[in-house]
Structure 1
Amino acid sequence: MARITLSDGQSRFLFWLIVVIFGVAIALLSWNIYLKFQLRNVKVEIVEIKPVELKIPEEIEESFSVTPPPTPLLVEFEEFDYEKLRDEMADFVSEDQVVSSFVVKKEDALRIIRRSGLPYLISPVSTDTYSVVLLGEFEDFSQVAQRSLYGVFVITTLSESLSKELAYDLRVAGYPSYVYAFQKLDKKYYSVVVGAFPTLRLAEDYFEKLNWEDIMKRVKVNRPGYAGRLISP
């Protein structure tokens, strides 16, 4: 087998190439060892960086106390209605009751009734004039109140329930009727009365206008009643 021989120049080149390669290997190995040694002394902290949160302001719901715009003043005008007022009037009066009596035009009659807020009795005097008797003390600028009460007695009994029933029947028939209670000789009496006026004269005039035939038939009496005093100051 043929032997390969190198010249002196080639031998020297190969020698130095091997030396360089060996030196580079030694250098790389040393650098690697150095890096490992340095990395051992390095404290690595992993810091988590949170993503930036953009806070979008939520819609703030504020509770406002909203005052509605003022509305025009509503004034309810009530027209005078005698039948309605008659049906709504008081149905019982006692002898110790304090009264305030007026004779006024129908407009003033309605005003006095509503302004006082008291139980009342109402009876016609003429076409547009009415007697208003309030059950209680009340003063009106139009006139001085009288403290007396007169009416037309129809029937008097010892039974409160019977008298109330008869008064109710007359009220339904269109008469301004009510029950008047009083005591006499240790007994309590209950009279069915029609009409309420401040004077005896007005009560007597009203007596003449009543349909006694109809009243006697309804109450089952055989003679007319009479005008008289219920309450006096």
Structure 2
Amino acid sequence: MTFDPFFFMKGFPGRAGAQSSQHVAYLRQLQREMRVEETLHIPLTELNVIVFDIETTGFYPDQGDQIISIGAVKVKGDEVKEGETFYSLIKSEKKLSDDIKQLTGLKDEQLQEAPSLSEVLFQFFQFAKDYTLVAHHANHEKAFLQHASWKLYRAPFKHRLVDMSFLYKIAEPDVKLITLEECCEHNGILPFGRHHALYDAKLTAMLWSIYVNKLTQMGCTTLKDLYEQLTIK
């Protein structure tokens, strides 16, 4: 059932409004309970993170581009929790471009039968809880989640989101790594299932695991240390 934020905000009765109110209440409570600053001081070797990836129809959410899938995996320190994953397609009434179909392997029929963005994001945040989020070139993910959070829930996006490129810059400042393939190959990881949100999340999680150890060996042991190093670079 599609969530219309104005339907909820106007206070109309019915199952859709009740479901929407539960979503909004949960997310706002989650945001109130977040202690984002505390994560700065947790050792990277103990930090719980959600490494995730989204596939989209383009790059500009404010111009109508949409999230069409989300994949995520839990990681603690350098341990990838292979059995704790999240993946969902997201409903879209718009036709995919040929380029996106070829890139992702997705079909219009799959997205037409998928759950709504509101429902998937609600489930994703239940999975992610208040954990730190991690993504490869995270500005893309951040832009879409900020846009969706405000559009659907009239609430800001408050999770801490760490860009993997920060780790590359500190651990190996002289090595130019841009694409996920380049980062994987540089670290001896065979890229698999590219442009599938869950597989890309798993590849990024493997990289996070490697770079947590590299940074720790350098004496960069917390997110606070990481951000301080970035200000020096």
TM-score (norm 1): 0.21
Considering fraction of residues, name the structure with more strand.
1
**Which structure has the bigger radius of gyration?**
1
Considering fraction of residues, name the structure with more helix.
2
Higher RCO, Cα 8 Å, sep 6+: 2
